[in-house]
Amino acid sequence: MGIALGVEAAHLLHFPNFCRDNKYKSVITFIDDQADTEMNYFRGRYQHFFEIAPAIYKEVNQEGGLDIQILSPTKFEGTDANFLDIRFEFIKGRAESEVIQQQLNQWASPESNEILTIAVCLNYPPQSVAIGLYLPDNVFENNIPVFIRQETSSALLSMLSSRKDEEECQYHKYSHIYPFGMMDNCYDLDRSGMEKGMVIHYIYEFFNTYGVLPESCPGMERLKKSWNELSVAKRWSNLYSACSIDYKLRSIGWDGKSDILLTSEQIELLARVEHNRWNVEKLLLGFRKPTADEMEIIASSKVKKDEFKNERFVHPDICSYEELPKSSKDYDRCIVKGISLVVNYRKSVQ
């Protein structure tokens, strides 16, 4: 479950901060007393991601501190590596140990400049509850979201997190605890999210055919017909892009009420964010960055380019935004320019 959440987070956590300063990456940290073994499995499963990106391994030492090891990208270096906006870290240690509690306390502190979320994903539900409820005080005092895995019922955690009187109780220690994973109460895609993915696909296909952004979108039946012809992987690609819209609009200060009018600078910034998201998506799906020799072959003809993409899962656009061809940048810009069509689709069809 922890791995599933970590991978999902890598698909979703892409922000303009990294475009302004590449030290601001989204950091996904796994804490486990078998983190070394799990890390090797994870890096093997997503080997093409770690051909480009470094990983951080930390282990609790006898002095009660953390030894840190930086694992370099396994294949590429220089400008061909470390251009992703996601970083994975692995800490070997038990969550209840003093050194791990101190680390969590530091992350949860307002002075850390971190935006933290914690997920407790142990196999034994009562142990998950125990770990989740006895986190450092900083976690609860600063309203850090804590997701606790349960298997059958969320009754206990729901009771703990509820407030009897919102006006009289300005602070509730467990108000930001959220149970998840229950068999009788699962999260799923809502209709709005699916529709946004369909509209993004339509915009992409329209631009691919005509080279311009559509002025409007067709009705739902037309969108569904095109959507149903897509592979599952491409559907999820559009859905992840749809999920990123709120982050993008929040980053430019959109109030949710006025018309969405993007400046050329904002379009370029959000196009970078979209490409960063796409890079990680493709790597997690099993695509890889081509070598310099493969790039020469790919550049020789469209046939070769399609062969590498469709048969070998080697995509030439897995690179930094600066190295991306103009034609590919135009697709990212098109998706960003079409955000208003996506957001306003329900209004137009009603």
Q: What is the pLDDT of residues 239-266, one digit of tens each?
A: 999 999 998 999 888 887 888 889 999 9
**Which of 130-134, 175-179, 308-312, 328-332 is the least confident region?**
175-179
Token pair listed for 257: 């009420």
Report the mean per-residue pLDDT for the chain.
Answer: 89
Label residue 347 by pLDDT band (50, 70, 90). Answer: low
- pLDDT of 144 above 60: yes
DSSP strand pairing (26-32 vs 55-60)? unpaired
Rounded to an integer, the average pLDDT of 155-168 is 61
How many Cβ atoms from other residues are within 10 Å of residue 25's Cβ?
A: 18
pLDDT reported for residue 76: 96
Q: For the chain, where are the E strands, in sequence order?
A: 26-32, 55-60, 66-71, 86-92, 118-120, 146-149, 177-180
Label residue 153 by pLDDT band (50, 70, 90). Answer: low
- pLDDT of 165 above 60: no
pTM: 0.90
Report the percent of the chain where pLDDT is more than 90: 69
Contact 251, 278 (CB under 8 A): no
**Which of 51-65, 109-123, 288-302, 336-350 is the least confident region?**
336-350
Label residue 186 by pLDDT band (50, 70, 90). Answer: low
Label residue 233 by pLDDT band (50, 70, 90). Answer: confident
pLDDT reported for residue 184: 66
Label residue 87 by pLDDT band (50, 70, 90). Answer: very high
Contact 282, 318 (CB under 8 A): yes
Residues found in the chain: 350
Q: What is the pLDDT of residues 292-315, one digit of tens each?
A: 999 999 999 999 999 999 999 999
DSSP strand pairing (66-71 vs 55-60)? antiparallel
pLDDT reported for residue 161: 67
Which of 140, 21, 146, 9 shows the shortest CA–CA distance to 87? 9
DSSP, res 200 = H
**Which of 44-48, 153-157, 237-241, 263-267 is the least confident region?**
153-157
Contact 67, 92 (CB under 8 A): no
Contact 71, 65 (CB under 8 A): no
State the residue for tokens 């061909």.
80
